[in-house]
Amino acid sequence: MAEFTFQQSLAQAGLTEDQAAVYESLVKKGPSHARTVAQEAGISRTLAYKVLDELIDKELAEKKDAPRMVSVFSAAHPMKLKDVVEKRFSEAEAAKGAVGSVLSALTSEYNLAAGKPGVRFFEGKDGIRECINDSLTSKTDILSYVDIAAVERTIPDISRDFAKARRKLCLKKKNIGVDTPENRAEVEGYYPDVTEERLIPWKTQAFGTVMQIYDGKISYFTLEEPMMGVIVADPHIYEMHRSLFESAWNDPRAYIPEKPQAALRSDSSDDGSSTMS
Protein backbone atom coordinates (compact mmCIF):
# COMPACT_ATOMS: atom_id res chain seq x y z
CA MET A 1 0.00 0.00 0.00
CA ALA A 2 1.25 3.46 -0.86
CA GLU A 3 2.30 5.84 1.89
CA PHE A 4 -0.23 8.67 2.16
CA THR A 5 0.97 12.10 3.17
CA PHE A 6 -2.01 14.37 2.54
CA GLN A 7 -4.79 12.63 4.46
CA GLN A 8 -4.71 14.91 7.50
CA SER A 9 -5.02 18.03 5.36
CA LEU A 10 -7.74 16.43 3.25
CA ALA A 11 -9.63 15.50 6.40
CA GLN A 12 -9.42 19.12 7.57
CA ALA A 13 -10.87 20.11 4.21
CA GLY A 14 -13.95 18.06 5.01
CA LEU A 15 -13.20 14.57 3.73
CA THR A 16 -13.50 11.44 5.84
CA GLU A 17 -10.42 9.30 6.44
CA ASP A 18 -11.49 6.81 3.77
CA GLN A 19 -12.41 9.56 1.29
CA ALA A 20 -9.01 11.19 1.82
CA ALA A 21 -7.21 7.87 1.24
CA VAL A 22 -9.15 7.07 -1.91
CA TYR A 23 -8.79 10.58 -3.37
CA GLU A 24 -5.05 10.62 -2.73
CA SER A 25 -4.77 7.18 -4.33
CA LEU A 26 -6.48 8.45 -7.49
CA VAL A 27 -4.30 11.56 -7.58
CA LYS A 28 -1.08 9.58 -7.25
CA LYS A 29 -1.95 6.52 -9.36
CA GLY A 30 -4.14 8.14 -11.97
CA PRO A 31 -7.23 6.45 -13.44
CA SER A 32 -7.75 3.14 -11.68
CA HIS A 33 -10.16 0.26 -11.20
CA ALA A 34 -11.96 0.01 -7.88
CA ARG A 35 -9.90 -3.06 -6.94
CA THR A 36 -6.67 -1.08 -7.35
CA VAL A 37 -8.11 1.85 -5.41
CA ALA A 38 -9.10 -0.48 -2.58
CA GLN A 39 -5.62 -1.97 -2.41
CA GLU A 40 -3.89 1.41 -2.44
CA ALA A 41 -6.24 2.88 0.17
CA GLY A 42 -6.16 -0.19 2.39
CA ILE A 43 -9.91 -0.77 2.40
CA SER A 44 -12.27 -3.43 1.08
CA ARG A 45 -13.50 -3.31 -2.51
CA THR A 46 -17.10 -2.92 -1.31
CA LEU A 47 -16.13 0.09 0.79
CA ALA A 48 -14.06 1.47 -2.08
CA TYR A 49 -17.12 1.56 -4.35
CA LYS A 50 -19.10 3.36 -1.64
CA VAL A 51 -16.36 5.93 -1.08
CA LEU A 52 -15.87 6.47 -4.82
CA ASP A 53 -19.58 7.24 -5.16
CA GLU A 54 -19.25 9.74 -2.31
CA LEU A 55 -16.32 11.44 -4.05
CA ILE A 56 -18.28 11.57 -7.30
CA ASP A 57 -21.14 13.28 -5.42
CA LYS A 58 -18.62 15.83 -4.15
CA GLU A 59 -17.34 16.26 -7.73
CA LEU A 60 -13.89 15.12 -6.59
CA ALA A 61 -13.88 11.96 -8.74
CA GLU A 62 -15.14 10.85 -12.12
CA LYS A 63 -16.25 7.47 -13.44
CA LYS A 64 -15.88 6.20 -16.99
CA ASP A 65 -17.83 3.20 -18.20
CA ALA A 66 -17.36 1.30 -21.44
CA PRO A 67 -19.28 -1.71 -22.79
CA ARG A 68 -17.99 -5.00 -21.31
CA MET A 69 -15.23 -3.10 -19.54
CA VAL A 70 -14.57 -2.57 -15.83
CA SER A 71 -15.34 0.96 -14.66
CA VAL A 72 -12.39 3.29 -14.37
CA PHE A 73 -12.23 6.02 -11.75
CA SER A 74 -10.11 9.16 -11.82
CA ALA A 75 -9.54 12.14 -9.53
CA ALA A 76 -10.94 15.55 -10.31
CA HIS A 77 -8.48 18.43 -10.37
CA PRO A 78 -7.25 19.26 -6.81
CA MET A 79 -8.58 22.82 -7.25
CA LYS A 80 -12.01 21.25 -6.72
CA LEU A 81 -11.03 20.88 -3.09
CA LYS A 82 -11.41 24.62 -2.74
CA ASP A 83 -15.10 24.27 -3.64
CA VAL A 84 -15.48 21.56 -1.01
CA VAL A 85 -13.93 23.80 1.64
CA GLU A 86 -16.06 26.80 0.65
CA LYS A 87 -19.22 24.70 0.75
CA ARG A 88 -18.26 23.37 4.15
CA PHE A 89 -17.63 26.92 5.37
CA SER A 90 -21.01 28.10 4.05
CA GLU A 91 -22.78 25.19 5.73
CA ALA A 92 -20.98 25.92 8.99
CA GLU A 93 -21.98 29.58 8.84
CA ALA A 94 -25.60 28.59 8.14
CA ALA A 95 -25.52 26.16 11.06
CA LYS A 96 -24.02 28.83 13.31
CA GLY A 97 -26.77 31.26 12.33
CA ALA A 98 -29.48 28.66 12.87
CA VAL A 99 -28.20 27.82 16.34
CA GLY A 100 -27.70 31.48 17.21
CA SER A 101 -31.29 32.32 16.30
CA VAL A 102 -32.72 29.86 18.81
CA LEU A 103 -29.97 29.62 21.41
CA SER A 104 -31.19 32.40 23.66
CA ALA A 105 -34.78 31.17 23.47
CA LEU A 106 -33.76 27.60 24.23
CA THR A 107 -31.64 28.81 27.14
CA SER A 108 -34.61 30.73 28.48
CA GLU A 109 -36.88 27.69 28.26
CA TYR A 110 -34.21 25.49 29.83
CA ASN A 111 -33.77 27.88 32.73
CA LEU A 112 -37.52 28.08 33.27
CA ALA A 113 -37.84 24.28 33.37
CA ALA A 114 -34.90 24.10 35.78
CA GLY A 115 -36.38 26.76 38.03
CA LYS A 116 -33.66 29.27 37.16
CA PRO A 117 -34.28 32.80 35.84
CA GLY A 118 -33.44 33.14 32.17
CA VAL A 119 -31.98 36.36 30.78
CA ARG A 120 -31.58 37.24 27.09
CA PHE A 121 -29.91 40.38 25.73
CA PHE A 122 -30.46 42.23 22.45
CA GLU A 123 -28.63 45.05 20.70
CA GLY A 124 -29.45 47.50 17.93
CA LYS A 125 -32.68 48.08 16.06
CA ASP A 126 -32.88 44.50 14.78
CA GLY A 127 -32.39 43.30 18.34
CA ILE A 128 -35.23 45.53 19.52
CA ARG A 129 -37.49 44.04 16.85
CA GLU A 130 -36.62 40.54 18.06
CA CYS A 131 -37.17 41.57 21.67
CA ILE A 132 -40.61 43.00 20.87
CA ASN A 133 -41.68 40.10 18.67
CA ASP A 134 -40.87 37.53 21.36
CA SER A 135 -44.20 38.46 22.96
CA LEU A 136 -46.11 37.36 19.83
CA THR A 137 -45.92 33.82 21.19
CA SER A 138 -47.61 34.84 24.43
CA LYS A 139 -50.57 32.84 25.66
CA THR A 140 -51.62 35.75 27.88
CA ASP A 141 -52.46 39.39 27.23
CA ILE A 142 -49.44 41.67 26.93
CA LEU A 143 -49.19 44.38 29.59
CA SER A 144 -46.95 47.29 28.64
CA TYR A 145 -45.58 50.62 29.84
CA VAL A 146 -44.83 52.73 26.76
CA ASP A 147 -43.02 55.98 26.06
CA ILE A 148 -45.31 56.78 23.15
CA ALA A 149 -43.36 59.75 21.82
CA ALA A 150 -40.08 57.81 21.85
CA VAL A 151 -41.64 54.89 19.98
CA GLU A 152 -43.04 57.23 17.33
CA ARG A 153 -39.68 58.95 16.96
CA THR A 154 -37.42 55.89 16.80
CA ILE A 155 -39.20 52.67 15.77
CA PRO A 156 -42.55 53.53 14.13
CA ASP A 157 -42.06 50.82 11.48
CA ILE A 158 -41.35 48.08 14.02
CA SER A 159 -44.24 49.21 16.18
CA ARG A 160 -46.68 49.27 13.26
CA ASP A 161 -45.62 45.79 12.10
CA PHE A 162 -45.99 44.50 15.66
CA ALA A 163 -49.52 45.86 16.01
CA LYS A 164 -50.60 44.32 12.71
CA ALA A 165 -49.10 40.98 13.72
CA ARG A 166 -51.02 41.11 17.01
CA ARG A 167 -54.22 41.79 15.14
CA LYS A 168 -53.69 38.71 12.96
CA LEU A 169 -53.08 36.63 16.08
CA CYS A 170 -55.93 38.26 18.03
CA LEU A 171 -53.34 38.95 20.72
CA LYS A 172 -54.57 41.67 23.06
CA LYS A 173 -52.39 44.29 24.72
CA LYS A 174 -52.88 46.86 27.46
CA ASN A 175 -50.73 49.99 27.22
CA ILE A 176 -50.00 52.52 29.95
CA GLY A 177 -48.41 55.79 28.91
CA VAL A 178 -47.95 59.30 30.26
CA ASP A 179 -50.96 61.61 29.97
CA THR A 180 -50.05 64.44 27.61
CA PRO A 181 -52.07 66.15 24.85
CA GLU A 182 -49.76 64.62 22.25
CA ASN A 183 -50.16 61.12 23.64
CA ARG A 184 -53.94 61.50 23.82
CA ALA A 185 -53.94 62.25 20.12
CA GLU A 186 -51.73 59.23 19.40
CA VAL A 187 -53.81 56.66 21.27
CA GLU A 188 -57.14 57.62 19.75
CA GLY A 189 -58.18 54.86 17.38
CA TYR A 190 -55.06 52.74 17.80
CA TYR A 191 -56.12 49.16 16.94
CA PRO A 192 -58.91 49.20 19.57
CA ASP A 193 -59.93 45.61 18.79
CA VAL A 194 -56.65 44.29 20.22
CA THR A 195 -55.33 47.25 22.24
CA GLU A 196 -56.55 49.06 25.36
CA GLU A 197 -54.96 52.38 26.27
CA ARG A 198 -54.70 54.31 29.51
CA LEU A 199 -52.70 57.46 30.16
CA ILE A 200 -51.64 58.44 33.67
CA PRO A 201 -50.42 61.89 34.79
CA TRP A 202 -46.79 61.27 35.80
CA LYS A 203 -44.23 63.94 36.52
CA THR A 204 -41.68 62.33 34.21
CA GLN A 205 -42.95 62.46 30.65
CA ALA A 206 -40.02 60.93 28.71
CA PHE A 207 -38.51 57.58 29.71
CA GLY A 208 -37.17 56.48 26.33
CA THR A 209 -38.11 52.94 27.32
CA VAL A 210 -40.78 50.30 26.77
CA MET A 211 -41.56 47.47 29.17
CA GLN A 212 -43.68 44.41 28.31
CA ILE A 213 -45.13 41.90 30.79
CA TYR A 214 -46.38 38.64 29.29
CA ASP A 215 -46.50 34.89 29.69
CA GLY A 216 -44.11 34.64 32.63
CA LYS A 217 -41.61 37.10 31.13
CA ILE A 218 -40.59 40.75 31.40
CA SER A 219 -38.95 42.57 28.49
CA TYR A 220 -37.36 46.02 28.57
CA PHE A 221 -35.84 47.93 25.69
CA THR A 222 -34.41 51.40 25.38
CA LEU A 223 -35.21 53.60 22.40
CA GLU A 224 -32.22 55.93 22.50
CA GLU A 225 -28.83 55.05 21.03
CA PRO A 226 -27.31 52.66 21.73
CA MET A 227 -30.54 50.66 21.62
CA MET A 228 -30.58 47.58 23.79
CA GLY A 229 -33.12 45.17 25.19
CA VAL A 230 -33.39 42.41 27.75
CA ILE A 231 -35.92 39.65 28.43
CA VAL A 232 -36.13 38.14 31.91
CA ALA A 233 -38.03 34.87 32.25
CA ASP A 234 -38.79 34.37 35.93
CA PRO A 235 -42.23 33.68 37.49
CA HIS A 236 -41.57 35.73 40.63
CA ILE A 237 -40.41 38.84 38.77
CA TYR A 238 -43.31 38.42 36.35
CA GLU A 239 -45.92 38.22 39.13
CA MET A 240 -44.52 41.28 40.88
CA HIS A 241 -44.60 43.43 37.74
CA ARG A 242 -48.02 42.14 36.72
CA SER A 243 -49.44 43.16 40.11
CA LEU A 244 -47.81 46.58 39.92
CA PHE A 245 -49.17 47.06 36.42
CA GLU A 246 -52.71 46.20 37.50
CA SER A 247 -52.48 48.79 40.28
CA ALA A 248 -51.36 51.45 37.81
CA TRP A 249 -54.01 50.34 35.30
CA ASN A 250 -56.74 51.00 37.83
CA ASP A 251 -55.48 54.50 38.71
CA PRO A 252 -58.64 56.66 38.99
CA ARG A 253 -56.83 59.55 37.29
CA ALA A 254 -56.21 57.54 34.11
CA TYR A 255 -57.37 58.95 30.78
CA ILE A 256 -59.21 56.29 28.75
CA PRO A 257 -59.91 56.85 25.03
CA GLU A 258 -63.54 56.53 24.00
CA LYS A 259 -64.14 53.16 22.37
CA PRO A 260 -66.78 54.14 19.76
CA GLN A 261 -64.47 56.72 18.15
CA ALA A 262 -61.56 54.30 18.21
CA ALA A 263 -63.58 51.52 16.62
CA LEU A 264 -64.71 53.84 13.82
CA ARG A 265 -61.15 54.81 12.95
CA SER A 266 -59.95 51.20 13.12
CA ASP A 267 -62.64 50.01 10.71
CA SER A 268 -61.79 52.70 8.19
CA SER A 269 -58.02 52.17 8.08
CA ASP A 270 -55.33 49.62 8.85
CA ASP A 271 -52.33 51.73 7.95
CA GLY A 272 -51.07 52.11 11.51
CA SER A 273 -51.75 55.82 11.63
CA SER A 274 -50.63 55.81 15.25
CA THR A 275 -47.22 54.32 15.80
CA MET A 276 -47.29 53.13 19.39
CA SER A 277 -46.49 49.47 19.89
Residue 209's pLDDT band, with cuts at 50, 70 and 90, is very high
Residue 115's pLDDT band, with cuts at 50, 70 and 90, is low
Q: Is the pLDDT of residue 196 over 90?
A: yes
Alpha-carbon gap, residue 16 to 4, rounded angstroms: 14
Q: Is the pLDDT of residue 104 over 80?
A: no
- What is the DSSP secondary-structure string of the chain? -PPPSSHHHHHHTT--HHHHHHHHHHHHH-SB-HHHHHHHHTS-HHHHHHHHHHHHHTTSEEEE--TTS--EEEEPPTTHHHHHHHHHHHHHHHHHHHHHHHHHHHHHHHHHHTT--EEEEEEHHHHHHHHHHGGGG-SS-EEEEE-HHHHHHH-HHHHHHHHHHHHHHT--EEEEEE--HHHHHHHTTS-TTTEEEEEE--S-----EEEEEETTEEEEEE-SSSPEEEEEE-HHHHHHHHHHHHHHHT-TT-B---HHHHHHHHHH--S-SS---
pLDDT at 7: 74
Give all domains of the chain, ordered by start, each with its CATH number: 7-84 (1.10.10.10), 117-268 (3.30.870.10)
If one compares 150 and 80, the residue with the highest pLDDT of the two is: 150
pLDDT at 5: 64
Residue 226's pLDDT band, with cuts at 50, 70 and 90, is confident
Q: Are 230 and 119 in contact (CB under 8 A)?
A: yes
pLDDT for 16-31, tens place per residue? 889 988 888 888 888 9
Rounded mean pLDDT of 45-50? 92
Q: Is the pLDDT of residue 260 over 60?
A: no
If one compares 268 and 60, the residue with the highest pLDDT of the two is: 60
Q: Is the pLDDT of residue 273 over 60?
A: no
If one compares 267 and 131, the residue with the highest pLDDT of the two is: 131
